Amino acid sequence: MVSEELDIANKNVPARNDDTGVQYVNELTTLNLGPTHPATHGIFQNILQMDGEKIVSSEQTIGYIHRAFEKISERRPFYQITTLTDRMNYCSSPINNMGWHMTVEKLLGIDIPKRAQYIRVIMMELARIADHIICNGILGVDTGAFTGFLYIYQEREFIYEIYEEMCGARLTTNMGRIGGMERDLSPTAIRKIKEFLARFPKVLREFENLFNRNRIFMDRVVNVGGISAERALNYGFTGPNLRAAGVDYDVRVMNPYSSYQDFEFDIPVGQSGDTYDRFMVRNEEMWQSMRIIQQAMDNLPEGSYYADAPQYYLPPKQEVYKNMEALIYHFKIVMGEIDAPVGEVYHAVEGGNGELGFYLISDGGRAPYRLHFRRPCFIYYQAYPEMCKGLTLSDAIVIMSSMNVIAGELDA
């Protein structure tokens, strides 16, 4: 069992000699973390090789909830793919939905009115906050602090109420449409968003007070699972995980979509790329998201909340009951008679975890010829063995938690 890897992991522990002079080290333990384990927050397996307390090497098995979304997409009209996308990163489904809608809009060449773009921005930033709440809250739980999680989770519940007001659904939302939004912001939705902006800073501040300088928490996360900027880029990290390593790459700034260029916000960056930096970057991003929502609410333009593209935009249901043209378009769109041009599009949005890309190839048919999702989770989870090598099991748990590994996005 003597291997180079083991020697590296054991560099603090000198190899022992018995009487005959033969070197030996401890026998390795194989530990299965997952597929279903409370600390994996999803269904995937980590097979850890442990030398005592230390992790020598690890290997991941994924694919337990692989649902063949890319294959299914090849038979589905564009609208029906929306329901697939919000089952990927289910912690922030509006971002996935609208990323997909924007990809199709790019293919079809539809321009969206400003008001619809601003509503999208508000919804996507709310989704980002919800995503970061669950990531940071669960990181607290994994270090043994349940209070912070319970306290901040009620704010996520409040965001769900806003979703509910926008589309009737809470988890698998479907509030966007190709060409705009399904509904305008209702007075209730506006009131709730304003209420959220008023109450969330206080909660977030208290959450930060609970964790940021907490000695027990810092002992668990500082200098744990660090990754250098160079390695992170080499692995294809994006989003908060990359920014924690010190690279200020954000799709919202680099390739602005949906009027993100209109808003002022900062990109928080960390230094060492360790678990603490990832936590702090996500916390800071929640503040920045609130800034964006505040600006969008203040400057919400008047006008239509959907583009004038009746052959693509699914008409409101009330119209369908009363208006013949709306009924015809509704029927054509639902049956997938949408005229898509031939072309290939790559569109990326800044998802909760990083660059969420949609690569769509259309041959002019009713469904994509090929659709590929660039899932940020899938790409950065492969760095996990490198990040937890030589550390203990309890470190491995917080590293996984702080990377925000979401099984739905991992497998697609």
Partner 1 sequence: MLTNEEVAQTIIQQFGQSVSDFDDPYDLLTFTADRDQLVPLITYLREHKTLQITFLTDVTAIHYPDTPGKEFCVVYHLHSLVNNFRLRIKVYLSDGNVHVPTITPLYAGANWMERETFDLFGIIFDGHPDLRRILNMEEMDYHPMLKQYPLEDATREDKIDALFGR
Helices and strands in the chain, H and E counts: 18, 10
Residues 242-271: x where in contact with partner 1 by CB under 8 A, - otherwise, as a string: -----x-x----xx----------------
106 touches partner 1 (CB under 8 A): yes
For residues 11 and 71, which CB has a smaller minimum distance to partner 1 in the complex? 71
Q: Please report, for residues 47, 181, 316, 338, the alpha-carbon distance to residue 323 in angstroms, rounded to integers and kept in the order given.
A: 60, 20, 10, 19
**Residue 66 burial class via C-beta count within 10 angstroms: exposed 0-12, middle 13-18, buried 19 and up:** exposed
Q: Which of 190, 233, 267, 309 binds partner 1 (CB under 8 A)?
A: 233
Nearer of residues 206 and 337 to partner 1, judged by Cβ = 337
What letter represents residue 403's amino acid? M
Tell me how far apart the alpha carbons of residues 233 and 197 are, in angstroms, rounded to a whole number: 34
> In the beta sheet, which residues pair with residue 294?
none
Judge contact between 272 and 231, C-beta under 8 A. no
Asked if 339 touches partner 1 (CB under 8 A), the answer is no
| Identified binder of partner 1 from the candidate list 259, 343, 392, 394, rule CB under 8 A | 343
Judged by CB, which is closer to partner 1: 181, or 251?
A: 251
Q: What are phi and psi of 326, to 5 degrees?
A: -60, -40
Cβ contact 384:391 at 8 Å: no
- Give least dist CB 254 to partner 1, A: 5
Closer by beta carbon to partner 1, 310 or else 343: 343
Considering the complex, state which of residue 236 and residue 310 has its C-beta at the smaller distance from partner 1. Answer: 236
Distances (CA, A) of 78 to 148, 204, 298, 366, 407: 40, 38, 33, 7, 24
Min. distance of Cβ 134 from partner 1 in angstroms?
Answer: 24
| x/- map, 357-386, partner 1, by CB under 8 A | x-x-x----x--xx-x-x---xxxxxx---
Residue selected from 16, 17, 36, 75 as contacting partner 1 according to rule CB under 8 A? 75
CA 68 and chain centroid, separation: 19
Binding mask 178-217 for partner 1 (x = CB under 8 A): ----------------------------------------
Q: Nearer Cβ to partner 1, position 114 or 366?
A: 366
The only residue of 1, 8, 150, 335 in contact with partner 1, by rule CB under 8 A: 335
Q: What are phi and psi of 33, to 5 degrees?
A: -100, 100
Q: How far apart are CA 321 and CA 180, in angstroms?
A: 21
Can you tell me the distance from the alpha carbon of 240 to that of 317, in angstroms, rounded to the nearest whole number? Answer: 39
Q: Is 310 in the site for partner 1 (CB under 8 A)?
A: no
Q: Is residue 336 near partner 1 by the rule CB under 8 A?
A: yes
At residue 359, φ and ψ (nearest 5 deg) are -110, 110
Classify strands 54-61 and 176-177 as parallel, antiparallel or unpaired: unpaired
**Footprint of partner 1 on residues 42-71 (CB under 8 A)?**
62-63, 66, 68, 70-71
Residues of the shown chain interacting with partner 1 in the complex, contacts defined by CB under 8 A: 62-63, 66, 68, 70-72, 74-75, 106-107, 231, 233-237, 247, 249, 254-255, 335-337, 343-346, 348, 355, 357, 359, 361, 366, 369-370, 372, 374, 378-383, 411-412
